[in-house]
Amino acid sequence: MLCRSAREPEQVERARRVNLVGVNLDDSEQREIEQGLAELGLTLNVVLSERADLSAFLAVADASYNIHPGPNMLLEFDLLCAERWQMSPIEVPLPVGVRASDRFWQAIAQATASEPPIGGHPLALSRA
């Protein structure tokens, strides 16, 4: 797997950075995810999908969490990242529909000890 070649983490603030793994996003979807993560105090490090380039795989270690569809879709990847870089996995449902989106954001908030904004998830106010 390409992430085996990832360098050791740079001197970046890893604690609040996340990788999104195994999900293909268009530009507007990625902006929406970035906005929601920002409202939780998190930053999107890289998106690892079939369209990711080598630089994305080499930057994997610059985050503390891997967010991916579960359950156990990427077990070997999670084990490698935990062993090598002390990263934690966050298994989420695909955010398709309102309820699944709420569960998606709730899983991330719980795993990262973030406080979701009023309404349950970062984008709740925009749909109210």
Q: Tell me the C-alpha distance between 118 and 128, whole Å.
A: 11
Whether pLDDT at 13 is above 90: no
- Its domain, for residue 61, covers 13-127
What was the pLDDT predicted at 61? 92
**Against a cut of 0.75, is the pTM above it?**
yes
CA quadruple 13, 15, 45, 87: dihedral, nearest 10: 130
**Residue 18 domain-assigned?**
yes
CATH number of the CATH domain containing 80? 3.40.50.1980
**Residue 5 domain-assigned?**
no
What was the pLDDT predicted at 74? 75
Whether pLDDT at 125 is above 50: no
- Structurally, the chain folds into a number of domains equal to 1
Q: Which strands form 43-48's sheet, in the order they lie side by side?
A: 43-48, 17-21, 65-69, 88-92
CA quadruple 50, 27, 118, 22: dihedral, nearest 10: 0
Residue 35 CB coordination number (10 Å): 13
**Residue 4 domain-assigned?**
no
Q: What does the pLDDT look like over 42-101, one tens digit per residue? A: 999 999 988 888 999 899 999 999 999 876 667 888 889 999 999 999 999 988 899 999
